[in-house]
């Protein structure tokens, strides 16, 4: 597709010979496992060569994707929001408009802001691609995505990593249509920065605590639900940890009623929603005998365009502090640090 159809040189393709063992590597496209690409794009510690303008990775069966610019990483949550914001102008398939957009609940609310501004139908669904599939089958959704590097559209009922890469190339081509052959391309970074200036930025991180004691994990989650009964107590506790953090205005255990088949999915994650658009989400999975995984999703929304260029770790630091101390994760699990930070 990239060489024969689009005329890219073969030298621009890495690890593209299918192998049963993925060449001994890990199939997931993320900053940890796609190290070769990350280094090539100037994001590694040892990058000396001038990086190309665009890089992308897909996993073993090419349904997930990661998009990179020169020395710049596009989060999956931002990626689906930017595709949705630019789809009608940049991608001929969507020229007549989007039927709707959707994201999984733990994915950042960047897509929500785009949907509100463009007056699009918006759906927040539980984790699991089948929920997107129902919406697409019913003609209610055109673009969807999840924080775990899955992006898709209604051309097929599955997430499609190659499609997401082509969508980004289409957006780059559209943004540069009057500038081809010029000295200064509109870059991936330019597109993302412009998006943040228009819609605000959702600083975002995920902390995974793997193989924790299942009973301790269940107790932690039960305590988080119990505390939701008094938001005044919640806010008092949070202010004692970080006085600058916004107030929690609502908190619940996410439940989804499918608008297509009427099915109800309960206990899909615990949410604390802040007045400034920030969120804390806690999810528990794998509560079998081997051990459970607790995932904490931490999201700080920034509307002030003068503050959207901060280092992500700095912008998130107060809310990370709140998430870890408020949840008492160290007390419940004995862990002083997560297994993985995304």
Q: Which residues contact 184 (CB under 8 A, 6 or more apart)?
A: none
| pLDDT of 42 | 94
Residues 59-86, mean pLDDT to the nearest whole number: 96
| pLDDT of 245 | 96
pLDDT band at 291 (very low <50, low <70, confident <90, very high): confident
Residues 212-220, mean pLDDT to the nearest whole number: 94
231-286: per-residue pLDDT in tens?
999 999 999 999 999 999 999 999 999 999 999 999 999 999 999 999 999 999 87
DSSP state for residue 66 in the 8-state scheme? E
pLDDT > 70: percent of the chain: 99
| pLDDT of 47 | 65
Residue 287, pLDDT > 70, answer no
- CATH numbers and ranges of domains, the chain: 1-199 (3.40.120.10), 202-341 (3.30.310.50)
Residues 172-195, mean pLDDT to the nearest whole number: 91
**Separation of first and last alpha carbons in the chain:** 30
| pLDDT of 20 | 86
Name the helix (H) or strand (E) containing 252: strand 248-253
Between strands 150-153 and 201-212, the pairing is: unpaired
Residue 36, pLDDT > 60, answer yes
| pLDDT of 289 | 57
- What residues pair up with 253 in beta bridges, in sequence order? 270
Report the predicted TM-score, pTM, of the whole model to 2 decimal places: 0.94
Arithmetic mean of pLDDT over the chain: 94
| pLDDT of 257 | 97
CA distances 26 to 35, 59, 128, 263, Å, are 10, 9, 22, 35
pLDDT > 90: percent of the chain: 85
38-57: per-residue pLDDT in tens?
999 999 877 678 999 999 99
Name the helix (H) or strand (E) containing 127: none
| CB-CB contact of 273 with 297 (8 Å) | no
| pLDDT of 32 | 85
Kindly write down the DSSP assignment for every residue of 143-169, as one continuous string. EEEETTTEEEETTSSS--HHHHHHHHH
**What's the token pair of residue 337?**
């640090």
55-64: per-residue pLDDT in tens?
999 988 899 9
């Amino acid at each position: 597709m990239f060489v024969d159809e689009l005329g890219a040189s073969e030298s621009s393709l890495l690890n593209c010979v299918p192998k049963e063992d993925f060449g001994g590597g890990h199939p997931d496209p993320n900053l940890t496992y796609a190290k070769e690409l990350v280094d090539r794009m100037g994001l590694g510690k040892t990058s000396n060569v001038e990086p190309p303008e665009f890089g992308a990775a897909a996993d073993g069966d090419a349904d997930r994707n990661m998009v990179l610019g020169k020395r710049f990483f596009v989060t999956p949550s931002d990626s689906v929001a930017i595709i949705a914001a630019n789809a009608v102008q940049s991608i001929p398939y969507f020229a007549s408009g989007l039927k709707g957009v959707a994201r999984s609940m733990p994915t950042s609310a960047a897509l929500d802001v785009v949907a509100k501004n463009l007056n699009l139908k918006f759906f927040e669904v539980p984790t699991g691609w089948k929920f997107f599939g129902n919406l697409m089958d019913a003609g209610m959704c055109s673009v969807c995505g999840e924080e775990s590097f899955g992006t898709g559209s209604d051309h097929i009922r599955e997430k499609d990593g190659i499609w997401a890469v082509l969508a980004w190339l289409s957006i780059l081509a559209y943004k540069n249509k009057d500038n081809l052959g010029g000295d200064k391309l509109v870059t991936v970074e330019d597109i993302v920065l412009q998006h943040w200036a228009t819609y605000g930025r959702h600083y975002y991180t995920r902390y995974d605590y793997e193989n924790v004691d299942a009973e301790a994990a269940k107790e932690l989650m039960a305590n988080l639900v119990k505390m939701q009964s008094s938001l005044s107590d919640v806010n008092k506790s949070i202010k004692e940890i970080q006085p600058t953090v916004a107030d929690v205005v609502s908190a619940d255990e996410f439940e989804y009623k499918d608008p297509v088949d009427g099915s109800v999915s309960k206990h899909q994650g615990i949410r604390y929603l802040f007045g400034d658009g920030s969120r804390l989400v806690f999810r528990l999975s794998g509560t079998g005998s081997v051990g459970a995984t607790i995932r904490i999703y931490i999201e700080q929304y920034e509307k002030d365009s003068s503050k959207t260029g901060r280092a992500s770790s700095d912008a998130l630091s107060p809310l990370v502090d709140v998430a870890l101390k408020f949840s008492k994760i160290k007390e419940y699990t004995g862990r002083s640090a997560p297994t993985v930070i995304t």
